[in-house]
Structure 1
Amino acid sequence: MITLTLLHPVQLKPVQCWTFDDESVIRIGRSTDNHVVLYSAVVSRYHVELRRVNSVWEVESLGANGTYLDGKRMTQVPIRNGMIIRLARSGPNIQIHVGVSASHEATMLAGDRTVPQQPQLNAVAALDDDITQPLPAMGVLESQVPERSTAMEPPSEKPSLSGNITCAHLRKTPDLRFCIDCGAPLRVQQTIGRYQVVKLLGQGEMSFTYLVWCDGKHWVLKTLNPNWVRHPKALDLFEREAKALSQLSHPSIPHIVDFFTIERQPYLVMELVSGRSLFQQVTKWGAIPQKQAIGWMLELCEVLEYLHQLSPPVLHQDIRPHNLIRRSAPTAFGEIALVDFGAIRVLSLEAKHRTSAISYSAPEQYQGEISPASDLYSLGTTLAFLLSGQDPGEFYRYREQGYRFYAEYVPGLSPEVVQVIRKLTHPEISDRYASAPEVSEALRQII
């Protein structure tokens, strides 16, 4: 028997385990025909192979980015019970147990396996406390124009009780928002195509985001603010962004399920992510401990590495605590979901409207010069907020390097963190970190 355990990237606690009784060869990689499938941009399609030769197990590295044991790159070594290998320098950690201890490990992990998503009803019931943030404006799976047209307007504060409510359970009561038996909405504000609007989740200058119900599930629907629908550039950006991002497949990025247009008004329907934004987390409970904050940034670095390695690279353009959701139900890949891609928001910046994004964004974004380094810049200002609880805008100054973010003014930061944030937020792109894996390596050195 052999047990493989996926460990948390920072705390090295068990996250998920796989137990094999009879296999003599076990493969780990990104391809779905592996015994253990790990989605990560740095993991090769076939990254590691474990083989049993007589009574001895050995592990061989097959991946282009290498496999590391005790910090050193390995090729082929005998397996020691309890050894931990890392797939690539910034990839996942796998602990290996063999024999009797493997069976014991599997038993001990019974309560520490991957946390599944909670049932839809529980996730939605928590929305009144844990507000789901607006999700990314992205994705085209199928273009479907509903037969019925409905104009989009922000719902009134007192929602209408009318609508196509299909729930027939006897236990529904007027004070409930959702049926406790099936999760169906008991109060529908309006209908857009085949989607029933349950509540307004967010209303910004550029877009509205709603919780909707369709086909027995809750989704998130996002659309342009009607004030921008007649703006040709806004429509073009919305649609181009949707088409470009529909190909994304990453567990930390919500999936798109529909894209359609009604009377020129575009709509995106997305996976529901339940939880609090990191902005809400800090606002309610205060600054985050250094180890936890860096752990979240390491998760984000992995997502950015995936996005930036695509051809052409996909840029988020609006990384800040408001757009990082700490899931109510973590996955094997971590707690953080990255939402609300910001291409449309560029119009707001061009129009000289100040938003909370300004404190977090790289200076070149306001000249239209956007690159992967712009996303990395925002990692620095976001980390400063998490560790201090203060808006990064308070720490911009005119000094020897001109007007820039000075991490040394942020209270409570260790010298090592100050050094990393200064490099992340350097005004010159060439003086920042070159890639997300390079940022990961620097953060790992701190913890």
Structure 2
Amino acid sequence: MIVSYCVNPSCPEPENHPNLKQCRACGSDLILHNRYRALRKIGKGGFGSTFLGMDLRLPGNPYCVIKQLRPNAEDPDTFSMALDLFEREAKTLGKIDHPQIPRLLDYFEDQKKFYLVQTLAKGITLQKEVQKYGVLSENATKRFLVEMLPILKYIHSIKMIHRDIKPANIIRREQDKKLVLIDFGAVKDQVNTQLAASNYGQTAFTQFAVGTMGFAPPEQLAMRPVYSSDIYALGSTCLYLLTGKAPKDLLCDEVTGELLWEQEVKVSPNFAKILGKMLEVDLRNRYRMVDEVINDLDMMPYDIELQQGLISSPKKVESKPKEAQESEDNVDSENRSSTSASRLAEAIRARKARQGKSKSLSPTKITPETLLSSYAMGRDDFSNQCFNSFNLSGANLPRVNFNHGKFIKTNFEDANLESANFYHADFSRARLGRANLTKAHLLKAELQYADLRNADLTGANLDGANLYKANLCGANLTDAHVDEFQLQEAETNWATIFPDGKKRLW
């Protein structure tokens, strides 16, 4: 049942009838700024509270997030100072324009409390996701970094520092399974931080928003955050995703303050090296910029990604049976001592064995929702399964394995399928318009009558693929492995970019 929630922190009975305009318990106005009605409290912290709200002015009364900030300001001068800082902070938030960050809709002051109104990102936080489904695999954690790092790069590019990156502030959006970074109450830009420190000292706004203990690095807790502080917090978030433990629950070196996380996680040496550099207490040894992390992730050997990434389901927080753990330890030991070629062969054999087990143990019918959820939680092998007529428009599935999959009339428009494996897959009459298929493996795939208009097939391998009547108008085939006979079978036009990187005159 929808109620009208009173935002007065001292109200003894905040729930009211949805049609009331004044709280029957304390008399406070229930319509904020003559526009917004709070429906329920969804968060609380030292700075104030967060409410699910409703915009009464817009058609359909869409939901929104109302954040109430309560500065500790008793005298008029201090309140005026806090109001000035709040307006500066709101203008800072108003500059943010990114599809994976909630947009600022409004800000105002009412009854000596400050309010920010933002778009609602409906979904589940990564903290709750781990608590509900278990910890992530290494491969899923790397995918988390690959998606989060560009968001962080954008924030830093507009000279801002988030200062409170943690699993509870990252939502997996329900509609498309993409990650959304929330709670910018802690964000600081360089100008505002300097103004606050020089003009106001430790005021209401410079006192809160120092970050969360365990996730924030030492320099941030000392009120000297830098871009690298967000990288440390992102590394700490990775530890939580891999272990289910907050950093403050991990042991640390009493002399250096470094987290002793290596004994808690089991990851490849290359990934451990990246995490270690993200989590350096000494700023001189930590990554300074987001691009440095991205570059190191891109340099990780592909065979190690296969070895670590072909996991059919995420690890659970509960400990594994002793026999299973010993078996995995033996496989890891053999892998470390084998050559690159044999590691790849062993990974493929292990994957086939897992596929056999999953067929006998997992009779649950797969749906578009379960596919996206399973992938988000670390599973990336969906070989030999049927996805006919699925609506996967806009899905984010890079490097997924759809070997021998069936996708007849499936909608993959605008999907990210970079480096995906579609060996011998059937895409008859599938819709792949504007899909990202760069470096995709489409060997011997059935693509007859498939709609690939404006798809990006840069570097894709189409050897032996059936392209009869496939619509490649406007598609980018630069450096794609495809022969002239295949192209003659397909439909192309003046906008098609051929493997030589050129268009042809018709």
Alpha-carbon shift at residue 155 of structure 1 (Å): 6.5
State the secondary structure of the residue aligned to 2:107. Answer: strand
Alpha-carbon shift at residue 247 of structure 1 (Å): 1.1
Question: 2:128 corresponds to which residue?
Answer: 280
Structure showing the higher strand proportion among its residues: 1
Alpha-carbon shift at residue 374 of structure 1 (Å): 0.5
Q: 1:356 to 1:318 in 2, by over 3 A?
A: closer
Question: 1:388 corresponds to which residue?
Answer: 243
Structure showing the higher helix proportion among its residues: 2
Matched, 1:379 2:234: yes
Instruction: Calculate the TM-score normalised by the size of structure 2.
Output: 0.48
From 1, 6, 9, the counterpart of 1:153: 9
Question: 2:115 and 2:19 mapped to 1: Cα distance?
Answer: 20
Question: 2:32 corresponds to which residue?
Answer: 192
Q: 1:200 to 1:154 in 2, by over 3 A?
A: farther
Matched, 1:262 2:110: yes
Alpha-carbon shift at residue 236 of structure 1 (Å): 4.4
Matched, 1:212 2:53: yes
Question: 2:102 and 2:295 mapped to 1: Cα distance?
Answer: 26
Question: 1:391 and 1:290 mapped to 2: Cα distance?
Answer: 17
State the secondary structure of the residue aligned to 1:409. Answer: coil
The AA in structure 1 aligned to 2:295 is E
Question: 2:186 and 2:157 mapped to 1: Cα distance?
Answer: 18
The AA in structure 1 aligned to 2:181 is L
| TM-superposition CA deviations, 1:382-405 (whole Å, max 9, x none) | 1011011111113342256x1122
From 214, 222, 225, the counterpart of 2:70: 225
Q: Is the 8 A contact 1:305 1:436 kept in 2?
A: yes
Question: 1:328 and 1:195 mapped to 2: Cα distance?
Answer: 24
Q: 1:422 to 1:399 in 2, by over 3 A?
A: farther
The AA in structure 2 aligned to 1:421 is L
Aligned-residue Cα RMSD (Å) equals 3.3
Question: 2:107 and 2:212 mapped to 1: Cα distance?
Answer: 26
Structure possessing the higher radius of gyration over alpha carbons: 2
Q: 1:428 to 1:355 in 2, by over 3 A?
A: closer
1:238-253 matched pairs, under 5 angstroms: 238-253=86-101
The AA in structure 2 aligned to 1:197 is A
Alpha-carbon shift at residue 415 of structure 1 (Å): 2.6
Matched, 1:340 2:186: no
The AA in structure 2 aligned to 1:268 is L
Gaps of 5+ in 1: 1-124, 128-149, 166-188
Q: Is the 8 A contact 1:163 1:191 kept in 2?
A: no
Alpha-carbon shift at residue 434 of structure 1 (Å): 2.5
Alpha-carbon shift at residue 249 of structure 1 (Å): 0.7
Larger deviation, residues 254-263 vs 388-397: 388-397
Alpha-carbon shift at residue 355 of structure 1 (Å): 9.7
Q: Is the 8 A contact 2:131 2:244 kept in 1?
A: yes
Question: 1:440 and 1:421 mapped to 2: Cα distance?
Answer: 12
Question: 2:447 corresponds to which residue?
Answer: none
Matched, 1:316 2:162: yes
Question: 2:101 and 2:69 mapped to 1: Cα distance?
Answer: 20
Question: 1:350 and 1:396 mapped to 2: Cα distance?
Answer: 30
1:87-98 matched pairs, under 5 angstroms: none
1:25-64 matched pairs, under 5 angstroms: none
The AA in structure 1 aligned to 2:173 is R
| TM-superposition CA deviations, 1:342-371 (whole Å, max 9, x none) | 4389979987x9998111111101222111
Query: What is the aligned-residue identity percentage?
Result: 29
Question: 2:130 and 2:232 mapped to 1: Cα distance?
Answer: 20
Q: Is the 8 A contact 1:154 1:200 kept in 2?
A: no
Q: Is the 8 A contact 1:237 1:343 kept in 2?
A: no
Query: Greater RCO between the two (CA within 8 Å, min separation 6)?
Result: 1
The AA in structure 1 aligned to 2:234 is L
Alpha-carbon shift at residue 198 of structure 1 (Å): 1.0
Alpha-carbon shift at residue 228 of structure 1 (Å): 5.9
Question: 2:187 and 2:181 mapped to 1: Cα distance?
Answer: 16
The AA in structure 2 aligned to 1:329 is Q
Q: 1:211 to 1:154 in 2, by over 3 A?
A: farther
1:106-145 matched pairs, under 5 angstroms: none
State the secondary structure of the residue aligned to 1:358. Answer: coil
Q: 1:319 to 1:151 in 2, by over 3 A?
A: closer
Question: 2:266 corresponds to which residue?
Answer: 412
Matched, 1:368 2:216: no
Question: 1:157 and 1:217 mapped to 2: Cα distance?
Answer: 25
Question: 1:436 corresponds to which residue?
Answer: 290
Question: 2:89 and 2:133 mapped to 1: Cα distance?
Answer: 35
Q: Is the 8 A contact 1:350 1:366 kept in 2?
A: no
Instruction: Calculate the TM-score normalised by the size of structure 1.
Output: 0.54
State the secondary structure of the residue aligned to 2:160. Answer: coil
Q: Is the 8 A contact 2:164 2:209 kept in 1?
A: no
| TM-superposition CA deviations, 1:278-305 (whole Å, max 9, x none) | 0111111110122222212221110111
| TM-superposition CA deviations, 1:214-234 (whole Å, max 9, x none) | 222111111113656866465
Question: 1:201 and 1:394 mapped to 2: Cα distance?
Answer: 25
Report the number of matched residues: 271
State the secondary structure of the residue aligned to 1:390. Answer: coil
| TM-superposition CA deviations, 1:401-445 (whole Å, max 9, x none) | x11223313233333232111111112212111211211222334
Question: 1:329 corresponds to which residue?
Answer: 175
Question: 2:267 and 2:72 mapped to 1: Cα distance?
Answer: 42
Alpha-carbon shift at residue 240 of structure 1 (Å): 2.0
Question: 1:290 corresponds to which residue?
Answer: 138
Alpha-carbon shift at residue 376 of structure 1 (Å): 0.7
Question: 1:344 and 1:302 mapped to 2: Cα distance?
Answer: 17
Matched, 1:358 2:213: yes
Q: Is the 8 A contact 1:388 1:412 kept in 2?
A: no
Q: Is the 8 A contact 1:407 1:421 kept in 2?
A: no
Question: 1:23 corresponds to which residue?
Answer: none
Question: 1:417 and 1:347 mapped to 2: Cα distance?
Answer: 40
